[in-house]
Structure 1
């Protein structure tokens, strides 16, 4: 099996070092479903890459259309909007017809570069066109590096990863890394949540 493209192996090694240092469960710390949503990669692809395997090859047009479709699906679930309304919003932004927008969002048509640029902005994708075109390993590596940078803090495990290790609040730790919370904000958030959980834990015995 061919080696994974750099630098994903290095990022995975950093992840292993972090879990060894904190005693956290690697599979619990990295929520495959959450990573899949934020990278627009299939859960099977994310799982394979985390395990050190290489997913099946894909064509660039299939890759782009699949990621647009995944972003659209996640956006619908997150926003609660109807497909028809999202199509109208995208159509207005891209200066295309609602029907053409629907074809793009469903992954049935291949968007051009200007359309991809606008779609990235619409869905809040920082990487722009690269998010849609880069190989799966590169996309996941970027997300994992964000997570690790947020969790590693200033060289030691941050408050959120300590909190996640104790309580299994995996998604919160991942979101903290994604939002680039400062260490002080992580500490404040962890203290607040510890207090809330502490109250809940004491209630049955009172």
Structure 2
């Protein structure tokens, strides 16, 4: 996995090459939400600065609280409901579940594993809670980097371009209508399909 400086360098290159809006693509609010980081910390890192140091326990508690707050905001649920759900799913007392959600108790390694499953953190795993801010932000930015470095292609247009259709006929006649494209594809499909037997004979 690339480092944060490398990821930002590649994103800046994409922004320039594809004429994207840096303010929109690197809006601090989005990666801050994905990484459970304070927006000010994200702004500092995006600007190439160094955020204040924090102890691992502080980091774990803060991200647990931020994650819980984001979950409540997204689902519209009540904190008491989230406490009860964590209590049931993670096998801990409601009092301890509330402390975790409020960021007042450091979860054990086993509980962190359970919280990863509960909040569906997938590939982030326990590192979501323990990574230092640069690593957490980098992980949050990688999907954006991948999206713009490997954009999904229109496979039909790619096929037409491969065989020179876009570069020749359509360049002179404009983009095909849906009916024209359907007719063209139907002809291609018929040309490669074996003839059907007449079962009535």
TM-score, normalised with respect to structure 2: 0.73
**2:98 is the alignment partner of 1:102:** yes
Residues 63 and 183 of structure 1, relative CA distance in 2, 3 Å threshold: farther
1:100 positional shift: 1.1
Distance 2:125 2:22 in 1: 29
Q: How many angstroms does 1:27 deviate by?
A: 1.6
Equivalent pairs, count: 154
Q: Cα RMSD over matched residues?
A: 1.7
1:112 alignment counterpart: 108
Q: Which residue of 1 is the match for residue 64 of structure 2? A: 68
1:39 is matched with which residue?
35
Please state how far the C-alpha of 1:85 moved relative to its aligned partner: 0.5
1:8 maps to which of 4, 9, 12: 4
User: What is the CA–CA distance in structure 1 between the aligned matches of 2:130 and 2:91, rounded to whole Å?
Assistant: 23
What is residue 183 of structure 2 aligned with on the other side? none
Partner residue, 1:49: 45
Aligned to 1:132: 129
Counterpart residue number, 1:152: 149
Which is higher, the Rg of structure 1 or of structure 2?
A: 2
How far is the alpha carbon of 1:31 from its aligned partner? 2.1
Deviation at 1:184, TM superposition (A): 4.8
Deviation at 1:113, TM superposition (A): 0.5
What whole-Å deviation, never above 9, does each CA across 1:140-175 have from its counterpart, x for those lacking one? 11121221101221xxxx3xxxxxxxxxxxxxxxxx
Which residue number corresponds to residue 164 of structure 1?
Answer: none
Higher helix proportion, which one?
1
Question: TM-score by structure 1 length?
Answer: 0.71
1:61 aligns to what SS in structure 2?
Answer: helix
Aligned equivalents of 2:72, 2:10: Cα separation in 1: 34
Deviation, structure 1 residue 183: 4.1
